[in-house]
Structure 1
Amino acid sequence: MNDFITALAGAAPLASGWAWHGVAMRRRFAAARRDPLSGLPTRAAFERRAERALARGPHVVIVMDLDGFKHLNDVFGHAAGDEAIRATAASLNDALSDRRGSIAARLGGDEFTAVVPLRDRASLPWLLGGLHGEVTAPFRHGGCDLAVGASIGACVTSDLPAPSLSLALRRADEAMYEAKRSGGGWRIADGPALTHTTTAGRRNGRPGTAGREAA
């Protein structure tokens, strides 16, 4: 019996060590799926979750790009730009906090995306307008109130031939560029057809599809 107790006592630190190792590994994997600056999921993690979400029913896919971000960096420094990214992520989370099942992510640079369950299409203008208002509200940095603009494009997946994330992102990207060309705000992609191609997820500056916009 004494030998058995001794063996258990010796194995306890090893088991404890493996348990902590497992916790540390899970934390590392979780961190790898998060953008270190914004705290939002990375693009790869977002795409995996968003594909599954779209298969469950109608969603609105949102692409958002900050306006005036380069000017903010040039005038106030990169630390201010980093704070703008963090503030935008916080605003995005806040705007979607009451939309259960929403998934938001940072695509890179000053571009963000989200997939939001669409229960009532009539509420979409309120969602996009509220998001725009949250993101463009001033944030505090270095004792100053700073702000950026935002251009938002949205695509309703039920308007597409099939619930394709890649197609929805392209349509939302086109709508976002239409909003940007009009001075910011938001726009909803009109119809399922792509009237113009995009390059690396970006428009080529050509006329785009029609939509609805709110400043």
Structure 2
Amino acid sequence: MNALVSMASAAGPLAAGWGVHGLWLRRRLSVARHDPLSGLWTRDAFEQRASRLLARHPHVAVVLVDLDGFKALNDTHGHAAGDAAIRATAGSLADALTGHRRAVAGRLGGDEFAAAVVLPDPVALPWLLRGLHGEITAPFRHDGRDLRVGASVGGALSSDAAAGTGRELPALLRLADEAMYTAKRGGGGWQNAAFAPRRTTTAGRRTGRPGTHTTPGREAA
């Protein structure tokens, strides 16, 4: 009996140590999955969570946001102002999605963001896109002054897409990208993919996006 008590006493600190180590690992993993500047999910983490929403719900809006005038803001006010714009955009996304119980937002890189939002009714998509654009383009405070950036927002609804692979995340991101580009060509704002013109594709991405090149006879974005 005494031997059992001694063994249990010795194992206690070890088990506690492993518990603390496991908590530390979970925290490290959580930090790694969040973008350090914006606090949003990284691309991989966002895609995992967005794909789960698409698999479980019939009406999911997939949204892409690209800031307008971001380079000019950096050039005029410095990179600290650019960082402040990224943080402000992340906060605006979070605020705009507060009323949605099932939603996820991420920073894909640079000044590009994405969100996936479960909608109770598909007719709510225009209100969602309008609200996101309004939140993101509102002035933010930096270094004692009010600054702002523009935004182009594109959204695609899963239930509007063709059944099968058309309702998977890569296809919906592609549609949202096309809609976002249509908005950007018009000077910013928001666009529903259901009403955006389709564009040419290079290696699965809209022609003209970073990492693509055009071939003779194909349209350059």
TM-score w.r.t. length of structure 2: 0.86
Q: Are 2:86 and 2:111, in contact at CA under 8 Å, matched by a contact in 1?
A: yes
User: Matches of 2:19 and 2:145 in 1, distance apart?
Assistant: 46
Aligned residues: 208
- Comparing 124-133 and 10-19, the one that deviates more: 10-19
Counterparts of 1:52-91 in structure 2, within 5 Å, are 52-56=52-56, 57-91=58-92
Q: 1:38 to 1:168 in 2, by over 3 A?
A: same
Cross-structure match for 1:151: 152
TM-score w.r.t. length of structure 1: 0.88
Deviation (angstroms), 1:126: 1.6
1:166 partner amino acid:
P
Deviations 1:128-183 (A, max 9, x none): 11111110111111111111110001111112112121111011101101101111
1:156 partner amino acid:
L
Structure 1: tracts of 5 or more residues without a match: 209-215
Structure 2: tracts of 5 or more residues without a match: 210-218
The Cα RMSD (Å) is: 2.2
Q: Are 2:59 and 2:121, in contact at CA under 8 Å, matched by a contact in 1?
A: no
Q: 1:178 to 1:199 in 2, by over 3 A?
A: farther
Cross-structure match for 1:23: 23
1:49 partner amino acid:
R
Q: Are 2:182 and 2:197, in contact at CA under 8 Å, matched by a contact in 1?
A: no
User: Matches of 1:193 and 1:52 in 2, distance apart?
Assistant: 28
Q: 1:141 to 1:192 in 2, by over 3 A?
A: closer
Q: Report the identity percentage.
A: 57
Mapped pair 1:197 → 2:201: yes
Deviation (angstroms), 1:99: 1.1
Deviation (angstroms), 1:191: 6.4
2:175 partner amino acid:
R
User: Matches of 2:197 and 2:171 in 1, distance apart?
Assistant: 10
User: Matches of 1:85 and 1:18 in 2, distance apart?
Assistant: 38
Q: Are 1:95 and 1:134, in contact at CA under 8 Å, matched by a contact in 2?
A: yes
Runs of 4+ in 1 over 6 A off after TM superposition: none
Q: 1:120 to 1:198 in 2, by over 3 A?
A: farther
